Amino acid sequence: MAKIIEGLYYSESHEYVRVEGEFGYVGITDYAQSQLGNVVYVDMPEEEDEVTAGEEFGAVESVKAASDLFSPVSGEVVEVNSALEDEPELINQDAFANWIMKVRMSDPSELENLLDAAAYAKICE
Amino acid sequence: MNNVYYGKLIFELSKPGRRGYSLPKNEFDGYSLEQLPVARRENKTLLPEVDELTVARHYTNMSNNNFGVDTGFYPLGSCTMKYNPKVNEELAALQGFNIHPSTPDCAAQGALKLYDEVQRTLAEISGLSRFTLNPYAGAHGELTGLMVIGTYHRQRGDVNRTKIIVPDSAHGTNPASAAVAGFQIVQVKSTAQGTVDVEDLKPLLGPDIAGMMMTNPNTLGLFETQIPEIARLVHECGGLMYYDGANLNPMLGVCRPGDMGFDVMHINLHKTFSTPHGGGGPGSGPVGVRAGLEHCLPNPQVVYNEEKGRYEQHFDEESLGSVSGFLGNFGVIIRAYAYLLTLGRENVPMAGRLSVLNANYIKERLRSHYKLPIDVVCKHEFVFDGLREEYGGDHHDAEHVTTLDVAKRLLDYGYHAPTIYFPLLFHEALMIEPTETESKDTLDAFIDVMIRIAEEAKSDPKMVKSAPHNTPIRRLDDVKAVKEPKFTFKAL
Amino acid sequence: MFKYFPHTPDDVQKMLDVIGVSNLDDLYAEVPEELKLHRELDIPSAKSEMEVRRIIEGLAAENKRLVCFAGAGCYDHYTPSLVPFIAARSEFSTSYTPYQAEISQGTLQYIFEYQTMMADLTGMDISNASMYDGSTATAEAMLMCVASAKKRNKVVISATFQPNVIRVVSTYAKFHGVELVVVPATAQGTTDLDAVRRMVEADDVAGVIVAQPNRYGIVEDFDGLAAHCHAHKTLLAINTVASALGVLKTPGEWDADIACGDAQSLGIPMGYGGPYIGYLCTKEALIRKMPGRLVGATTDVEGRRAFVLTMQAREQHIRREKATSNICTAQGFMCLYVAAYLSIMGEEGLREVNEQSHAAARYLHESLLATGKFSEVFPGQPFLNEFTLRYDGCTCELRKRLAEAGFLAGVCTEGMEGCLTFAATETRTRQEIDKLVSLI
């Protein structure tokens, strides 16, 4: 059974946002990593890129699959998790600890469109 | 097998000072490359220095580590791995065809005539008006066919048709080709019976639909019986019907794409018409169109000029453009012509019927051990959804045998694996296509092995899960291949 | 029954019994009757092997094999006997794409060797496992530029490309929605680099594609081009005739990002236009933007080195409508031709082929000018083994007359009335050149 953490915001396309003040840490859920299998590459945005809620910002690749990443929130990318460049498998080890990008959210009200842990758990069933 | 050579790369056999070539003495004095003022190469190459025998042994030993149709049975679904006749190889190598592509038409009449004969024969077999043989492969044919569809709409001034409908069971190339041709993709669902869901299709149709791609029989090996209705609906909304000819083999001489209502199609000569697959090409993907679309086909076109009484390469202003440097994979076209002449009108229709017979025979004999999700008479291929429950299927844990394990275990018994994990409609898909050139004896032996593997899956799943055991190498580390990428000898 | 169908009537009956139908036509019971053909196909009747041979040998004989002085994307180099001999091994030719690596090491290994050789010849990090031909490889290079540049959609291509390559690239661009700009040639027959620079400075060009040697045979100087492109985040792709990579400055040495072209010149027969092989090489940073199959090295469970198709997540069967290329089956088998040819020739052999081709072309060039019926179009421009001259008369009539005499006298230089582009290779003898010239 995939892990789901209370207090995060989730998208139907299996990304999560952890909110800390004006920043959102975006990654893929434990369920998403378990579906993909061994992650071998993460295509990340660049710092200062603008991302838009619902639009692509990168991709996660396993040996036999590639999955586009959709940003749950809009804003400016202030940091990417460079540890994933060399060790993309960190996502398999702990998807929630290993976020992909940190976004300065331009419209925090977008969080209201996302799912809470209970609602997200339902779509993973 | 010579183990001294096995596994070595040609670069590892190199020794400074050896050479494998000979050239005549240069007859022209006083012209040196040193006189080229610019743009000369500075870096040395890594090319090996080897003698001729070393090269001969190296590749001959490598060929021993390879499985081909000539080695054994190749039940690979959607790939139509039939026998590749040898006379075709000899004829394709005739020096009379080894001419420069810019040879004036008057000096290439034999080649142009052959090209035209193949176009005409394919048109009759498909029930369409005209073919081009320029596309290099099936996916290239799809792209060309979609360009025909785009050109047709543009020439009518209808620029809003930006979408192509593709069934969820389609080959991956269909949506990819449509995307490369500049279309958006709309997916249509399959019913529980595995054919296109007409009710799901209806709301998708509208003035933005350029056309629909279909494979018939589809990738489950099922004939799309609703095809007349589907074609009518798509035509009514102004779209064209595209036939993916990957599965044409079972239809030969029975039922033609043109008569089913298709407007554009491609054929894989390397599937249906027996040209060798070559470990991933060269193939050939001729594209045919119904009457009224001929002018859209790519340039150059080969036509017979009645007035002059000869064949010509022709450039049509109205054409979609060009998709190939010259006239496609001509050497492949020669092989297909030899095959068509050999089979003739008597045997072409038998090829399809016997391929269907073979597929259904395997299906009936193995359904006791493998799960058959759709239980109807199939065409040239069918799909199992893994082992039946009593042999370990339906269990999604690490101990039970999966489709991948069955496939790998087959290699131990000297068979190529079926196509696995495609189509995407089933989790444990195992897609089997035997083709008409395999005998009942071959099929019986294969069936026995498949049953034995099912029993092994029950009695000794660990052994099956660690298969293959008897191949030149064993299971590979796919993750390492991506994470520590090494694509050249230099990177090793 | 028939030689390719092993079924005896008894086998067929037994199989029908197992399936539970009474005859072969019953296997098509679900196909609506109105869709069925209900007649024989109107194609020729079955032929014996001897008859087939007679027909096709007859057609081969209707072609006239001309002594070849044409190039324009296809070159009459010598193929050592060993190359077709190795390629005749049906363990190679009758195999499918090597998805089952355990029983496909032969195919995987020669593709790995091919990738190594092409990456090395072009001076790039990696090569894919082939494209269809040089023209489609160039079109894919264009798509790669657009896919790599996030928000740019314009690609600049030099008018000095072979016209048939420009036609294919334009066709792909037209449908894929790429804005393709053809930059004109200078009066000296080379890429107008100043014009290219100005275009690149607009900061909206995804890629620049140039050809070497170009359609007139001229060896171009791309000094400074890559730096200028890179300063404006534009990729540079160079299409080089593969054989010439043995002696000409490589795309890697020019600091290009993509190398593409046709490798027919590396041991593949002219065969009336195909099968040839397109090559596509790039730098490591662009690997995930590169189309086509890739073979990589890894190990098996016992730690032995082995080869496998890898990075498949880029490919059409996984990406489907997100794919930037639809290529799957390309020209895999032709990698074997190239690998075997380059193994035989080595660096020395390849250089000698180029030297002899160059010498023959220079001699032909001088001899043609000496007739007084030809004049230079681009005086003083350096060439390798192909060049363009103006003929004082009707080129069509000349080519026709020489074809009747057994010679392929170059190709008509498209868009330049009265000009012919000639090529020579190591297979042309002094006697053949003298004979050709005497007929003019």
The whole-number pLDDT of residue C1 equals: 82
State whether C191 and C97 are in the same domain: yes
State whether C92 and C171 are in the same domain: yes
State whether C311 and C377 are in the same domain: no
d(CA C296, CA B489): 10
d(CA B136, CA C168): 13
Average pLDDT over residues C185-203: 97
- In a mutational test of the B interface, the residue from A38, A41, A43, A63 whose CB has the highest number of chain B CBs within 10 Å is A63
At residue B397 the predicted structure's pLDDT band, cuts being 50, 70 and 90, is confident
Q: What is the CATH number of the domain that holds C223?
A: 3.40.640.10
d(CA C141, CA C289): 10
- Report the chain C residue with the minimal C-alpha distance to residue B140: C327
CB B425 within 8 A of CB B221: no
Q: Which residue has the higher pLDDT, C322 or B299?
A: B299
Mean per-residue pLDDT over chain B, rounded: 95
For residue A64, the chain B residues in CB contact (below 8 A) are 478
Class of domain B86-342: alpha beta
Does residue B5 carry a pLDDT above 60? no
Q: Please report all neighbours of B, defined by 3+ CB atom pairs within 8 A.
A: A, C
For residue A88, the chain B residues in CB contact (below 8 A) are 483
- Report the chain B residue with the minimal C-alpha distance to residue A62: B479
Range of the domain at C333: 82-341
d(CA A122, CA A118): 7
Average pLDDT over residues C421-439: 98
**pLDDT tens by residue, A38-93:** 898 898 898 889 999 999 898 898 877 778 899 999 999 999 999 998 889 999 99
Strand partners, A70: A56
Does residue B2 carry a pLDDT above 50? no
Q: How many domains, chain C?
A: 2
The residue among C341, C367, C392 that closes a domain is C341
Cβ <8 Å between C312 and A63: yes
State whether C401 and C429 are in the same domain: yes
Number of Cβ pairs closer than 8 Å across A and B? 11
Using DSSP, state whether C205 is helix, strand or coil. strand
Q: Which helix (H) or strand (E) holds B307?
A: none
Antiparallel, parallel or unpaired: β B130-132 and A101-105: unpaired
CB B1 within 8 A of CB B37: no
Q: Which helix (H) or strand (E) holds A66?
A: strand A66-70
For residue C127, the chain B residues in CB contact (below 8 A) are 487-488
ipTM > 0.95 for the complex:
yes
Q: Which of residues 260-279 of B touch C (CB under 8 A)?
A: 260, 270, 276-279
**pLDDT tens by residue, C26-83:** 999 999 999 999 999 999 999 999 999 999 999 999 999 999 999 999 999 999 999 9
Average pLDDT over residues C260-273: 97
Burial class (CB in 10 A: 0-12, 13-18, 19+), B446: buried
The owner of tokens 């004109």 is: C184
Q: What is the CATH number of the domain that holds C362?
A: 3.90.1150.10
State whether C109 and C254 are in the same domain: yes
Tokens of C212: 């070497």
Strand partners, C104: B66
Please tell me what DSSP assigns to residue B350: H
The whole-number pLDDT of residue C322 equals: 73
State whether C293 and C425 are in the same domain: no
Answer whether residue C373 is part of any domain.
Answer: yes
Q: Which amino acid is at C59?
A: L
- Look at the alpha carbons of B253, B254, B260, B266 in this order and tell me if their dihedral is positive or negative: negative
- The CATH homologous superfamily of the domain defined by B348-483: Aspartate Aminotransferase, domain 1 (3.90.1150.10)
Answer whether residue C240 is part of any domain.
Answer: yes
Tokens of B17: 């000072």
Average pLDDT over residues B48-71: 95
Nearest alpha carbon to residue B341 among C63, C54, C94: C54
Tokens of B175: 């949506």
- In a mutational test of the B interface, the residue from C23, C51, C65, C96 whose CB has the highest number of chain B CBs within 10 Å is C96
d(CA C43, CA B273): 14
pTM of the model: 0.95
Over its C-alpha atoms, chain B yields an Rg (Å, rounded) of 25
How many C-beta atoms surround the C-beta of residue C27 within 10 A?
Answer: 24
State whether C162 and C285 are in the same domain: yes
Does residue C360 carry a pLDDT above 90? yes
**pLDDT tens by residue, C117-127:** 999 999 999 99
**pLDDT tens by residue, C2-26:** 999 999 999 999 999 999 999 999 9
d(CA B356, CA B113): 33
The percent of residues above 70 in pLDDT, for chain B, comes to: 99
Does residue B152 carry a pLDDT above 90? yes
Closest-CA distance of chain C to residue A35, Å = 15
The whole-number pLDDT of residue B440 equals: 98
Domain residue ranges of chain B, discontinuous segments joined by +: 10-65, 86-342, 348-483
State whether C161 and C278 are in the same domain: yes
Tokens of B298: 């790519």
State whether C160 and C274 are in the same domain: yes
Comparing A37-46, C289-298, C411-420, the range with the smallest average pLDDT is A37-46
For residue B320, the chain C residues in CB contact (below 8 A) are 171
State whether C262 and C383 are in the same domain: no
What is the three-state SS of C241-288? CHHHHHCECCCCCCCCCEEEEECCCCCCCCHHHCCCCEEEEECHHHHH
State whether C326 and C362 are in the same domain: no
d(CA A121, CA A3): 9
**pLDDT tens by residue, B193-233:** 999 999 999 999 999 999 999 999 999 999 999 999 999 99
State whether C318 and C418 are in the same domain: no
Cβ <8 Å between A41 and C313: yes
CB A18 within 8 A of CB A38: no
- Report the chain B residue with the minimal C-alpha distance to residue A39: B479
Nearest alpha carbon to residue A24 among A32, A15, A35, A33: A15
At residue C312 the predicted structure's pLDDT band, cuts being 50, 70 and 90, is confident
Closest in B10, B60, B143 to C326, CB measured: B143
**pLDDT tens by residue, C82-107:** 999 999 999 999 999 999 999 999 99
The whole-number pLDDT of residue C323 equals: 77
Number of Cβ pairs closer than 8 Å across B and C? 714
**Residues 6 or more apart whose Cβ sits within 8 Å of residue C35:** B227, B228, B255, B259, B260
Please tell me what DSSP assigns to residue B370: B
- Report the chain C residue with the minimal C-alpha distance to residue A61: C313
- In a mutational test of the A interface, the residue from C233, C288, C315 whose CB has the highest number of chain A CBs within 10 Å is C288
The whole-number pLDDT of residue B37 equals: 72
**pLDDT tens by residue, B238-258:** 999 999 999 999 999 999 999
CB C389 within 8 A of CB C375: yes
Mean per-residue pLDDT over chain C, rounded: 96
At residue B6 the predicted structure's pLDDT band, cuts being 50, 70 and 90, is low
At residue C328 the predicted structure's pLDDT band, cuts being 50, 70 and 90, is confident
Nearest alpha carbon to residue A14 among A1, A4, A22: A4
At residue A35 the predicted structure's pLDDT band, cuts being 50, 70 and 90, is confident
Closest-CA distance of chain B to residue C86, Å = 7
The residue among C341, C371, C391 that closes a domain is C341
